[in-house]
Structure 1
């Protein structure tokens, strides 16, 4: 456990060390031998000296850590939300500029924008400048005017979304080893997305890969919740978040369904020579949900190269797995109930044809088998 100590505690520790050193010198003189040679100091004094020396070293280290904690405490939440690099250095440049000759609002914005390209970062940087006590009254007035100018000329929803999603972007960016600015951009895109949840999910997979799709879903869900609960949300009223909440709910349902579907399709991997990958199965499910009446074409596009390499028995088994996979998808993820029924019926008809073809082929194989 780290104990933070103040200046008075440190002074007391130094006085204790000095008093102990005086006692040590007294004991040393008392134990001087007949030839004037110093004898070994008393063991308890030696041990006490070593303990105090260790404590003093610990307190010096804690004092250094205290300075670090103080520096971090001075950083406001606005500072932590800035995703640009070298933030402290860039802010110091702007402070020095304001302390120098009189700077116009236009010049200040131009110089700040050259350092903070993103409007959310730019606004946060000015908020951070305004909170710093080193600025005089006139400079605070200039910063206020700059803030007003940025909000007048910027996209309010996008700026607020970038600010509210920043901390979540940092956390999830670290987990996924992605640039937080990229995740901030993703959340802004999500707010403006007009397509269905299927297209949203596909877009995430295309941008970040199938392996990160669950993390991306969790990030967007967390960012949306934080945005809605913030003091200055992206939208003016809660009702405007309704369609986004519905999209996230459907994406969560889709995420659970894709896990079941993929598990079912690649479950019998040995019999299919491990040719069906997770990405392949995922593409099949998403395209099938988007185009249920064209499932035959979807199957050929997704699994065609795999199917032609399988023997009839393995091919039939794979089709059975795909049928079970689509049957496990909740009805709510289909555009309508009739679409699910149509897809299942088409798949069953395909499987029946494969089964009959396999039955007809079996006698011929036995006939041509060498005796």
Structure 2
């Protein structure tokens, strides 16, 4: 469809309109345009340099990754996740053994497992060796057969968990001054165990010591989140959902533990009777699991020192422990009725303590 012709009058009106607009909005001078052009050119040049730097960094990272993946002259590929000591010389031994064509695969597997007892470590080493470019065909085939055997005989959950948690185990192991392999095994146990938070927490304390309990839980959380996002996760989505629920329960216990212990050890009267964190942890776990045995847990925490105290101090000490114990979240106790039974036990002991305190004051002439 053609446009309608423009009349001479229309052209004149348009010319007047253009003149009025030009008067209202004068055009920049030539110098201003030159300055603007210079600024724009400088900005564009700066942006081009920035883009060039970003592309260069990305290409460098890509090349480095490709070289890391394709490198074949030294058996160090992906060994950062192998937690066995002396990884490189042992990997060379595995490679030398694989070149012995007269030895059966079963013998080779036995020898390889002596060098790398953990299946996760052995699988990583074998994968790295198989990727080497300058391997003779028979040697590569034996290594591939060995790798297939290790994967077939091992537990997929434990193997993938060990591989996925290895870097976190190495990092936390260094900061905690414990073996990374022990932390890796602790994570696997967490995946396979059905224990409640209290039992898991106590197991970690028995294994690593009271001072490390918070660090162990931090490692378990970091390893679990890494495992979930891994290319080959150790568990299904449903299993990870349950594990996250258990982790939440453990974090609730950790919070209660911190509040309870810090409040106790921040009390001068409590510390005068017992300032040992480990003893109060035993008390905490005891009242959560066996609230009916309160006498036993108190005796273990303040038994001998309290005998030398006045009945007034004993009552004050009992009141402090009672107040903090009854603040513990009900969900942490062994059953729903446990907090009520614990409160009853404290009331019974408080009545006894008050009676002795009154008797002591009467003897001193100060009790009504």
Q: Which TM class, normalised by the smaller chain length?
A: 0.7 to 0.9
CA-to-aligned-CA distance 1:174-210 (integer Å, 9 cap, x gap):
0000110111111122222222110110111111111
Contact 2:291-2:342 within 8 A present in 1 as well:
yes
Secondary structure at 1:232 match in 2: coil
**Structure 2 CA distance, aligned partners of 1:227 and 1:102?**
40
TM-score (norm 1): 0.74
**Structure 1 CA distance, aligned partners of 2:69 and 2:171?**
18
Q: Which runs of 5+ in 1 are unaligned?
A: 1-69
Secondary structure at 1:273 match in 2: helix
Per the TM alignment, residue 325 of structure 1 is displaced from its structure 2 partner at its CA by 1.3
Match of 2:122 in 1: 122
Aligned residue pairs: how many?
298
Match of 1:351 in 2: 350
**Structure 1 CA distance, aligned partners of 2:149 and 2:270?**
66
**Structure 1 CA distance, aligned partners of 2:295 and 2:252?**
25
Per the TM alignment, residue 239 of structure 1 is displaced from its structure 2 partner at its CA by 0.6
* Alpha-carbon distance change, 252 to 357 in structure 1, aligned in 2, over 3 angstroms: same
Rg (Cα) greater in structure: 2
* Alpha-carbon distance change, 291 to 91 in structure 1, aligned in 2, over 3 angstroms: same
Match of 1:335 in 2: 334
Secondary structure at 2:272 match in 1: coil
CA-to-aligned-CA distance 1:188-236 (integer Å, 9 cap, x gap):
222222221101101111111111100001011111111222122222x
Match of 2:150 in 1: 150
* Alpha-carbon distance change, 272 to 116 in structure 1, aligned in 2, over 3 angstroms: closer
* Alpha-carbon distance change, 228 to 76 in structure 1, aligned in 2, over 3 angstroms: farther
Residue 305 of structure 1 pairs with residue 333 of structure 2: no
Contact 1:204-1:213 within 8 A present in 2 as well:
yes
Per the TM alignment, residue 290 of structure 1 is displaced from its structure 2 partner at its CA by 0.3
Per the TM alignment, residue 101 of structure 1 is displaced from its structure 2 partner at its CA by 4.7
* Alpha-carbon distance change, 312 to 276 in structure 1, aligned in 2, over 3 angstroms: farther
CA-to-aligned-CA distance 1:41-82 (integer Å, 9 cap, x gap):
xxxxxxxxxxxxxxxxxxxxxxxxxxxxx8899576631111
CA-to-aligned-CA distance 1:96-140 (integer Å, 9 cap, x gap):
344565654223323312211111111111111112222133322
* Alpha-carbon distance change, 130 to 72 in structure 1, aligned in 2, over 3 angstroms: closer
Per the TM alignment, residue 300 of structure 1 is displaced from its structure 2 partner at its CA by 2.3
Residue 91 of structure 1 pairs with residue 125 of structure 2: no
Which deviates more from structure 2 when the two are superposed, residues 165-174 or residues 277-286?
277-286
* Alpha-carbon distance change, 73 to 146 in structure 1, aligned in 2, over 3 angstroms: closer
TM-score (norm 2): 0.74
Residue 246 of structure 1 pairs with residue 245 of structure 2: yes
Contact 2:84-2:121 within 8 A present in 1 as well:
yes
* Alpha-carbon distance change, 277 to 143 in structure 1, aligned in 2, over 3 angstroms: same
Matches within 5 A, 1:192-341: 192-235=192-235, 237-270=236-269, 273-341=272-340
Contact 1:292-1:342 within 8 A present in 2 as well:
yes
RMSD: 2.5
Match of 2:166 in 1: 166
Per the TM alignment, residue 266 of structure 1 is displaced from its structure 2 partner at its CA by 2.5
Match of 2:37 in 1: none
**Structure 1 CA distance, aligned partners of 2:220 and 2:305?**
34
**Structure 1 CA distance, aligned partners of 2:76 and 2:331?**
45
**Structure 2 CA distance, aligned partners of 1:275 and 1:196?**
29
